[in-house]
Chain A
Amino acid sequence: MNLTQIQQLSETEWEIPASYRQDMQVPVRLFATRRLLETALDDLSIEQAVNAASLPGLAGPVVVMPDMHQGYGFPIGGVAAFYYPDGIISPGAIGYDINCGVRLLSSSIPYEEAEPVLPALADAINRLCPSGVGVKGHVRLTSQDLELVCRNGSRWALKHGYALPEDLTRTEESGSIDGADPHAVSPRALERGLSQLGTLGSGNHFIEVDLVDQIYDEQSAHAMGIYQGCLTAQVHCGSRGLGHQVCTDYVQSFQGAMRRYSIHVPDRELVCAPVNSSEGQAYLAAMRAAANFAFANRQILVAFLRQAFEEIFAGRTANWHLRQVYDIAHNMGKVETHTVGGLQVKVCVHRKGATRAFGPGSPGLPDEYRRTGQPVLVPGSMGTASWLLAGTEKSMQVSWGSSCHGAGRLMSRSKAKKEIRGDSLKRDLEKRGIHIRAGSLPGLAEEAPDAYKDVDEVIETVVKAGIARKVARLVPLAVIKG
C-alpha cells in the first residue's frame, strides 16, 4: 500500500475505502498527520487495519489512532466495533495484556519541596512496588480470594483496605466489570495470576512521578485535581500472566470455533467467534475476569505508591495525599451504546492500544467529570512528556468514543538494543533530572525515548481531529521499571 491509495479527508483524518480490497466489510478511518501516516506505512499496521476491516459483524469503520504500530493480527492503536449480540468477538483484537491501562494520581506537593527528595522517593517506590521478571507480589491469595478478585476487581481491593471509595468512582467501570466469571478462566491462567497480584511486571510497564508542566484548561484541571507545578504519578500495567494466559487459551480454542462457524480470517491472530456463541460468551466472561484482576492490580500498586509518598513526605509536606484522577484501560472489549445510522445501537467495542474517550455528559462518568468529559491518560515514553486530555462529543461520532493511548513504537526492540546502551541512556536521563530505577538495562534500552514516536505530534493530531482536548502536560521526574 502507498499513500496515494489512502483518501485524505482533512489534515488529520484519512480513509481507506471498503472498495480497496474485496473482503473489506467497512472502510478504515485513520487519524494521523501525513508524516505519521508515512511512518506507519513502514510496518504492517495499516495492512493489519485492512485485515481487521474484513471481519464479520462490523458496525462501522475500523478506526486507527496516530500512535499506531504493527501488532499481531490487529494493529496497536486500533478500534473496531461489532454489533452486539449478533457480531463477533476477537481476543486478538483486544490483546494479550487484557486491561493494560494507566492510572493517574495528582497531589498538592510542590516541585520545590519534592526536588531534594526525589531520589529517595524513587528508591521507596522501587522498594515498595514489586516489579521485574518473575517477581512475586506481597499480597498472599488463596484460590478463593483470586476468584473474588476476578469477580469484583477494585471492589475487592476496597474491601481489603487497598483503596479509597473515590478511587473506584474515578476508575473506568468503577473498577469492576459485571459479567466476569472466574470459572471461564483456565486453571493455568489462575495459577499464573495467583502470585502476581500487586506487581508491575516488566517491559513497557512503569510507575512514573511527573510534574504538571503546563495547564491548558484551568476548569477541567481543577475538576481533576491537577495543579501547575505540583507532582503527579502514573501507574501503567495490566492483568499480568492471568490475562496473557486467558488470551492465549481463547485464541487457541477459537481456532476450532472458527471452523464450526465457517468464519475465515486473513490472519490467525484475528481468530473470532460469534459473541452470542458459547465460545464467545465464555471468552467475554473470562476477559472481564482478567480485566477485573488488572483493575485490582493497579489499585494495589497505588496503595504501595501511597505508602512510598507517605514515607518520604510525611512531616515534610502539609498534604502528601495522592488523589486519583482516573484509571483507563487501553486493551479491552466493552459493550457500549453508540449511534449507528442515526440509531442507538449496542456494539462490542474492541480497543487495542486505544483509550476510551467519552465526551461530556456520557453515561458512566463520575459526577465531577460530567462537564469536563472523561479524563484520557496518554503516557509518553521515558524522558518525554505525558498528557492528560479529556474526551469529546466528536469522539463519540467519529472514533467509537476513543482516542490514542501513548506515543506508539517506531523502532524495533532488536534495533533499540543494538543502537542504544541502557547505562548511557540512564546517565543521560539522570543528567536531565529524571531519576531512573530499572531492573534491566537492556530492557531500559528497548524502551528508550528514541524508540517511540513524538508523543506531542500524536497529541496534536487527536486534538486537531477533535477526538480529545488538552487539559495538562506532565513531564517526568522519576521512572521505575521492572
Chain B
Amino acid sequence: MHVYTSLQHKYNYTKAMDNPLRPGFRERPHTADWELEAWAPDLPGLFRSAAEGMLSLMGAAPGDSCLEQRPLELAAPDPEGLLVAFLGEILFSAVNQGAYCRPAQISIEGEHLTASLLCTPIASLEREIKAVTWHKLAIHFDAGLYRTVIVFDV
C-alpha cells in the first residue's frame, strides 16, 4: 500500500501504519480513471483526507503566497452528497481558479457542511480531474474509522 505524504498538514500520513486510526488516503487500481480510498477517525477528517488525496492525485502543489480564507457552505441530502459537492469545490478552485485550497475547519451537521478554506495560488498542477463521480460512493464507519472510495473521471 502506497501511503501519500501530506504537505504542511497536522496529520502525518507517513505514520499511518504506526497508528491505524490516523487519517490517510491511497490510490487504488481502476481501469480508466482514478480511484481513491480515504479514511479518518471522524467525518470532517474523512473529508479532509479525501481532499488531500484528490489534490495529491492531481500533482497539485501550493505556492508560497499569503493564504486567503474562503468560507464554504454546502447542503446535500446525505454525507456522500456533501462529499461530492465539497470535493467539487476544491477541484474547481484548483483547475479553474488556480487556487490550492485546504480546509482549515470543517463542520458537518445533518445535511449541511460549513468550512473555512485556506487558499494559496497553486504552484503546479500536473494532471486534470474532470469530475468527482458518485460511482461506488458510500461512507462507512468500521473499526473506529470512517472510510470511503471515490472514483474521479479523468
Contact = CB atoms under 8 A, between A and B. Distances in A.
A364 interface: no
Interface in B119-154: 125-128, 130-137, 151, 153-154
A202 interface: yes
B15 interface: no
A442 B126 CA distance: 9
Contacts of A252: 76, 81, 84-85
Interface string B67-92: 00000000011001100110010001
B30 A414 contact: yes
A271 B81 CA distance: 13
B96 interface: yes
Given A412-B29, A442-B126, A269 B133 contact: yes
B112 interface: no
Contact of A69 (B32, B95, B134, B154): B32
A440 B131 contact: no
Contact of B31 (A43, A92, A248): A43
Contacts of A70: 30-32
A21 B33 CA distance: 28
Interface in B25-56: 27-34
Given A202-B127, A414-B30, A268 B95 contact: no
Contacts of A410: 31
Contacts of B154: 203, 413
A134 B95 contact: yes
Contacts of B80: 268
Given A69-B32, A70-B31, A414-B30, A191 B96 contact: yes
Contacts of A412: 29-31
A268 B134 CA distance: 6
A335 interface: no
A72 B32 CA distance: 10
Given A191-B96, A413-B154, A69 B31 contact: yes
A133 B127 contact: yes
The listed residue with most A CB atoms (<10 A of its CB), out of B28, B126, B130, is: B130
A468 interface: no
Nearest to A268: B134
A96 B128 contact: no
Given A252-B85, A412-B30, A413-B33, A73 B134 contact: yes
**Majority-rule SS of B interface residues:** loop
Nearest to B28: A414
A134 B98 contact: yes
Contact of B32 (A76, A241, A255): A76
Interface string A236-280: 000001001101100110011000000000011101000000000
Contacts of A268: 80, 134-135, 137
Interface string A169-209: 00000000000000000001001100000000111000000
A256 B77 CA distance: 8
A71 interface: yes
Q: Interface range on chain A: under 10, 10 to 19, 20 to 34, or 35 or more?
A: 35 or more
Contacts of B133: 72-73, 92, 96, 251, 269
A46 to B, nearest CB: 13
A96 B28 contact: no
Interface in A206-229: none
Contacts of B127: 133, 202-203, 440, 442-443
A269 B135 contact: yes
A413 B77 contact: no
A294 to B, nearest CB: 13
Given A72-B153, A133-B95, A202 B128 contact: yes
A192 B131 CA distance: 12
A192 B97 CA distance: 9
A251 B30 CA distance: 21
A338 interface: no
A412 B98 CA distance: 28
B126 A247 contact: no
A316 interface: no
A409 B30 CA distance: 10
B32 A413 contact: yes
Contacts of A409: 31-32
A138 interface: no
A415 interface: yes
A414 B34 CA distance: 8
A97 interface: yes
Nearest to A69: B31
Contacts of A69: 31-32
Contacts of B98: 134
A87 B12 CA distance: 51
A229 B153 CA distance: 37
B31 A72 contact: no
A218 to B, nearest CB: 36
- Cβ-closest 5 pairs across A and B: A72-B135, A412-B29, A268-B134, A244-B130, A72-B133
17 contacts: A45-B31, A69-B32, A71-B32, A72-B133, A92-B134, A96-B131, A133-B95, A133-B125, A188-B92, A192-B92, A241-B95, A252-B85, A409-B31, A412-B29, A413-B30, A413-B32, A443-B126
Given A70-B32, A96-B131, 10 more contacts: A70-B30, A72-B153, A73-B133, A73-B135, A134-B128, A191-B96, A241-B96, A251-B133, A256-B77, A269-B135
